[in-house]
């Protein structure tokens, strides 16, 4: 039965997990997969999550299915978290999904049913898994310029110039905040312009929002998605709670759709539910129940916000420390961009030889292209060792 299958390459990010785990060197440093770590190298269960889990455990009386769309209270909570106090909520629908990737998959299936002849445009570079997810749905995928590889900032002029040529045959994938893999953020002015172009030329915005709260603040990180919603008739958002609630393995996400009218968006929702039924059927409940309880219990919500702020501050402080140390070691400002990036990632723009040398000679595990997860640097010792390794492979 299986002998005719062609072997498939392993996802490079997933592959790194195994390579790191099997490396016996005690000085190894994991700046690979995008998982937040504290200064002991642990990915902690947030206190707000633990408290919510205890309350759910004590109160739960059944494990019966919740339904194809998941818990509607959770869905409403996600609409509020992402879109804030904006008008027009009657044009929004949300469906609980297994993780942000589940949302990307369902939305892509639904969009392909709606408009199979469109091209999805992704940033160059983008998260490696965007291509397989969109292609699996059937879409043609192409890219627009994003990173200036010299300055490590967004090349907004080039990006906007390319996007201004797109129209009603196109879908444009945007990272809501904390761009993966680069860490380089769009300015608010650029978001405004993307919204204006979408409204004028008719391309369809598709936002991947996986790190809300990890960049600047919960509301600032939603600037892009809220701006687009004000300007365009319809759009979709794939949201994840893996990072901002630390619920990675529980698989909590949400597919959000904005339509021109409530009737139109109901059509999108029903097609999403059909796509869910024919793949995994009902979403897992536990993680979404935790998020819902936290967001609707004032004491838990306040604890969560404090914890999220602490995670963000650790990332920001590591960014500053890494820039400072590298400035000192190289007597140059060439790595200062690390401080200005947002979220867990920075793309250092390294070639294969350099990332291989980081791994083989210095036990530093970074994703291809030199994507680092800054939160993987445990303490000053690791930060120093990482900086030394980086200087060694780039000089
Ligand atoms: C990452 O980019 O490291 C995360 O989004 C985790 C993943 O599944 O790739």
Taking the centre of ligand 1 as the mean of its atom positions, its distance from the CA of residue 376, in whole angstroms, is 13
Provide the pLDDT for residue 85: 85
Reported confidence tier of residue 73, pLDDT bands at 50, 70, 90: very high
Angle, CA of 283, 247 and 214, to the nearest 5°: 120
Answer yes or no: is pLDDT of 74 > 80.
yes
The CATH number of 8-45+300-394 is: 3.90.1150.10
pLDDT tens, 80-99?
999 998 778 899 999 999 99
What confidence tier does 241 reach under pLDDT thresholds 50, 70, 90?
very high
Ligand 1 centroid, distance to 13 Cα (angstroms):
7
Q: How confident is the model at residue 368 (pLDDT cuts 50, 70, 90)?
A: very high
Looking at the chain, the whole-number percentage of residues with pLDDT higher than 90 is 96
Class of domain 65-296: alpha beta
11 vs 243: CA distance, rounded Å: 20
Mean pLDDT to the nearest integer, 96-105: 98
pLDDT tens by residue, 270-290: 999 999 999 999 999 999 999
Q: What is the mean pLDDT of residues 322-348?
A: 97
Nearest alpha-carbon partner for 93 in 105, 112, 79, 82: 79
Average pLDDT over the chain, rounded to an integer: 97
Among residues 361, 370, 367, the alpha carbon closest in space to that of 392 is found at 361
Residue 283 and residue 95: Cα distance in Å, rounded?
Answer: 9
Paired sense of beta strands 364-365 and 29-30, if any: parallel
**Residue 345 beta carbon below 6 angstroms from any ligand 1 atom:** no
CA-nearest residue, atom 4 of ligand 1:
34
Q: How is residue 154 written in tokens?
A: 């967004």
Question: Where exactly are the structural domains of the chain?
Answer: 8-45+300-394, 65-296
Atom of ligand 1 nearest to the CA of 14: 9
Residue 243 known to be catalytic: yes
DSSP letters for 317-352: HHHHHHHHHHHHHHTSSTTTHHHH--SSEEE----H
Whether 238 and 103 have beta carbons less than 8 Å apart is answered as yes
Say which residues have a Cβ less than 8 Å from residue 59's Cβ, sequence separation at least 6: none
Please tell me if the CB atom of residue 127 comes closer than 6 angstroms to any atom of ligand 1. yes
301 tagged catalytic: no
Q: Give the per-residue pLDDT at 53.
A: 98
Q: How many angstroms separate the alpha carbon of residue 1 from the centre of ligand 1?
A: 32
Assess contact for 245 and 252: CB atoms under 8 A: yes
Please tell me the pTM assigned to this model: 0.96
Averaged pLDDT for residues 214-218 = 98
DSSP string of 88-135, one letter each residue = -GGGEEEEEESHHHHHHHHHHHHHHHH-TTPEEEEEES--TTHHHHHH
By alpha-carbon position, which residue is closest to atom 2 of ligand 1?
34
Do residues 78 and 256 make contact, with C-beta atoms less than 8 angstroms apart? yes
Of 40-44, 334-338, 342-346, 357-361, the poorest mean pLDDT is in 40-44
Q: Mean per-residue pLDDT for 312-316?
A: 97
- The predicted-structure confidence for 257-274, as pLDDT tens digits, reads as follows 999 999 999 999 999 999
Q: Is the pLDDT of residue 343 over 80?
A: yes
pLDDT at 44 over 80: yes
């Amino acid at each position: 039965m299986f002998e005719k299958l062609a072997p498939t390459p392993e996802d490079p990010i997933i592959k790194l997990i195994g390579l790191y785990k099997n490396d016996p060197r005690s000085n190894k440093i994991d700046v690979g997969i995008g998982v937040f770590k504290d200064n002991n190298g642990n990915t902690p269960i947030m206190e707000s999550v633990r408290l919510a889990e205890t309350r759910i455990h004590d109160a739960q009386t059944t494990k019966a299915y919740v339904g194809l769309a998941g818990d509607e209270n959770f869905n409403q909570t996600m609409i509020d978290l992402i879109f804030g106090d904006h008008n027009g909520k009657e044009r929004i629908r949300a469906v609980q999904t297994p993780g942000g990737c589940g949302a990307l998959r369902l939305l892509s299936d639904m969009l392909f049913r709606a408009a199979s002849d469109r091209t999805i445009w992704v940033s160059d570079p983008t998260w490696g898994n965007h291509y397989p997810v969109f292609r699996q749905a059937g879409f043609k995928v192409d890219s627009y310029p994003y990173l200036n590889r010299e300055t490590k900032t967004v090349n907004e002029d080039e990006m906007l110039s390319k996007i201004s040529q797109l129209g009603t045959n196109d879908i444009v994938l945007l990272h809501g905040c904390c761009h993966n893999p680069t860490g380089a953020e769009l300015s608010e002015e650029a978001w405004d312009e993307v919204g204006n172009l979408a409204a004028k030329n008719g391309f369809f915005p598709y936002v991947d929002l996986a790190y809300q709260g990890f960049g600047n603040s919960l509301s600032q990180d939603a600037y892009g998605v809220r701006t687009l919603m004000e300007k365009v008739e319809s759009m979709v958002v794939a949201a994840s709670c893996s990072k901002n609630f630390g619920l990675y393995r529980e698989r909590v996400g949400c597919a959000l759709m904005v339509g021109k009218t409530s009737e139109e968006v109901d059509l999108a929702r029903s097609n999403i539910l059909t796509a869910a039924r024919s793949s995994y059927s009902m979403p897992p409940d536990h993680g979404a129940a935790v998020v819902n309880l936290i967001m609707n219990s004032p004491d838990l919500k306040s604890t969560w916000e404090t914890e999220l702020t602490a995670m963000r501050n650790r990332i920001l402080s590591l960014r500053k420390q890494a820039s400072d140390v590298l400035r000192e070691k190289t007597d140059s400002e060439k790595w200062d961009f690390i401080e200005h990036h947002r979220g867990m990632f920075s793309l250092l723009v390294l070639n294969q030889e350099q990332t291989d040398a980081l791994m083989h000679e210095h036990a530093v595990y970074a994703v291809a292209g030199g994507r680092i997860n800054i939160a993987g640097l445990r303490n000053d010792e690791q930060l120093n060792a990482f900086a030394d390794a980086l200087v060694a492979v780039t000089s």
